[in-house]
Chain A
Amino acid sequence: MTPDNLDDRLDAIYDAVLSYEGEITAQLVAAEIDAGTDIQVVLKDALIAAMDEVGDLFGEGQLFVPEMLMAAKTMKAGLEVLRPHLTDSGTKPIGTVVMGTVEQDLHDIGKNLVGMMLEGGGFKVVDLGVDVKPADFVAAAAEHGADVVGLSALLTTTVPNMKKTVEAFRAADYGGRIMVGGAPVTREFAHSIGADGFAGDAPGAVDLARRFVRND
């Protein structure tokens, strides 16, 4: 039986995401759309709130990576139902992030996880994939009006390509912010190559992207 109270129904969506129940999440979101509930409220107070909780639980060590991924997939199931209505209602994403793994690096697990969490956090994500040349990053950022660019690398040998990519952005006078991440990347390295920030994990990347968009 569907609760009358909106708070209770939003709780149900939140709980469904945290229980990895994709079909139920999609159904509940669809029900809210049919009921005329404010799309923003469903997005922010149920779906994004659930993903924020996922991020915090991961940071606390209570949730593991596969569980975080599953939660993100579940949230996405609800977001896909919501998406056509977001455009109609004029709701904009929090920001646009263009991301990819740097040139000569083919690893993407971490990047994909960050991408899913950024979507879960309300961002529009343009994923350029792997082995992305600096020029292609710059072009994509311009094309999509990226507020934030995310660079990922797993190999010590490809990390220098992060620096090349950052330099390419600076040469192109890019006005957004650049964040970097990946196993061999440290905060110190990020600073040394002129990146605007470093994220050690996916929830950290979401927090950082939010701060960038808010101009913190």
Chain B
Amino acid sequence: MGDRIETEPAKPIRRSRRERVAGATSAPAAPVVQAGDGGMAGVFRDAAAVRPGFFTLSDHKLDILRRKSIALLAEHGFTINHDGAVAQLVAAGARADGTRVRFPSELVEAALRETPRQATLYAKSDDPGLTLALPRADNTFHVRTGTGAHGFIDAESGAYRKLDRDDARTLARLADGLAEIGFIAHPFVNDVPTATADIHGLATVMTNAVKHAWIQPYSADNIGDLMHIAAAAAGGEAALRARPVASCIATSFTPLEIKQMDTEAIIQCARFGLPIHACSLPTAGGTAPVTVPGAVLMAAAEIVAMVTMAHVLGPGTPVIATPLMFTLDMRSGRSLQSSIEAIQAAAIAIQLMKRGFGLMTHTYGFGSDTPNADAQSQAERTLLGSTVALSGADILGGAGQLECATALSPLQLVIDNELAGMVRQSLHTPEVSDAALGWDDLLKVEPGGHFLAEAHTLAHCRDHFAPEAFARLGRDAYEESGRRDMMANARDICRQVLSRDPPPGLPDDDTRAEIAAIVAAADRRAAG
């Protein structure tokens, strides 16, 4: 029997008797579509239950992949373009032949044993609801917005444009106000010098959102500035180390290589106390074998290499295994994020990293290969999100992203917020007790009877997930509404969230000035 989780149901906002009698029947202040948390925590949840899931591969096959990935690092090795890192790895027992570093299995296993299995991603606000524990306390997942996209789909017009700082600001504020979104990545902003786009992007997220930020460096030269922006936002380097308000991606350069920039990212994350998302992005048939297990093996080997590097270069730094799986469309040569093979590969990769290596896990839980937030987008991301959630992912990334992670859409972000809530609800294991079963009502129901008027139904009628964007109108109401659909509701939610006052915890004027100074100095340096 698990713990019962009680929450207060939302109270209706109603008119008073006097208002009614005086003739007031129009809706009170709250609009029909409300941007709220969209769902219920749910009573009768068995908090002690194992997270529901499915397993694509047997333990035996996962073990083969585990052993093969470690063997690949021992036999083939990993190319590391960073002299200092190579030297430290050699000192720790690795064998180097120039930049080709071979990892003995003992070193890898030691790294896997000692890499922290937990991390906390902090927000700039004191609100404990915004602190992200990994793994999550309720054994589900956190959600991250899409990163690095350079395109933007306007919420009102649907038009596509190159993403600029205003758009980044919009996305940050929107993500900050959507309850299921846990942390926010900076997109690629186009209206700034290309060389400092990452610095501008992070600065925009840091000054417009209180939630945890995800850093993606675009060049080694910028890593220091990115860390300093995070430190400024946290209140100093010591504060950042104590409560990391940002975490950072380090990406392998598939196949089996890591650039100097990403090695430096690992080193600086360790220095500043930021958790690392060790990311591999293999493309099956392109940078990795064409088969699903071959691509998974590539991702596993690269991630484990980065885990080992972090263990040597920054012992004790939390590392989150982040396989982002793609396939190459063999007809066109385009990369696909949401082909069924990419989805299966993500599922297996997550299962392998979690069960095989015992690591915290992160992958795309949202995204599609279509340019717009259309029916295909919803189908692809639902397949993807459900599959990887059931595979055990601790973080579902890519909320709001389209066109193979190259464009971001506010409306899609709102819908992904809702999908996340539904998928999360689907992972909650229900309690099976007499109270949960409605046993007493079952015993007394008469033929032709119903449960609608029972106290049990009344008490729990709000336990069901209550969507705000998804439309549930019958045909007549749908026509009368002017064919109002999910996208129209999402647009309303977007407008409501963006019209709210900023939350507490945003950087004050001094901090903003400090961040602006870092950005300006970076621009001057880049301009030479």
Contacts and interface: CB of A to CB of B under 8 A. Distances in A.
Contacts of B30: 62
Contact of B476 (A73, A113, A200): A200
Contacts of A66: 452-454, 457-458, 461
Given A14-B16, A14-B20, A200-B474, 18 more contacts: A10-B17, A11-B16, A49-B21, A53-B14, A56-B15, A56-B25, A57-B14, A62-B30, A64-B461, A64-B462, A67-B461, A70-B453, A113-B452, A186-B474, A186-B475, A187-B476, A188-B476, A200-B476
Interface of A: 7, 10-11, 14-15, 18, 20, 45-46, 49-50, 52-53, 56-57, 60-67, 69-70, 73, 106, 108-109, 113, 130, 186-188, 198, 200
Nearest to A198: B476
A45 B474 CA distance: 33
Given A57-B12, A106-B448, A200-B474, A73 B453 contact: yes
B477 interface: yes
A188 B474 CA distance: 13
Main SS class of interface, B: loop
Interface of B: 12-18, 20-21, 25, 27, 30, 32, 448, 450, 452-454, 457-458, 461-462, 474-477
Contact of A49 (B17, B452, B475): B17
Nearest to A70: B458
A113 B453 CA distance: 9
A73 to B, nearest CB: 7
Nearest to A10: B17
User: Does more than half of chain A's interface fall in helix, strand or loop, or is it mixed?
Assistant: helix
Contacts of A69: 452-453, 458
B328 to A, nearest CB: 46
Please provide the 4 A-B residue pairs with the shortest distance between their CB atoms, ordered closest to farther: A14-B17, A62-B12, A66-B461, A66-B458
Given A60-B32, A66-B452, A109-B452, A7 B14 contact: no
A53 B20 contact: yes
Contacts of A109: 450, 452
23 contacts: A7-B18, A14-B16, A14-B17, A20-B458, A45-B21, A49-B20, A50-B17, A52-B20, A52-B25, A56-B15, A56-B25, A62-B12, A62-B14, A62-B30, A64-B461, A65-B452, A66-B453, A108-B448, A109-B450, A130-B448, A186-B474, A187-B476, A200-B476
Given A53-B20, A200-B477, A18 B452 contact: no
Contacts of A187: 476
A17 B16 CA distance: 12
A109 B450 CA distance: 7
B35 to A, nearest CB: 14
Contacts of B450: 109
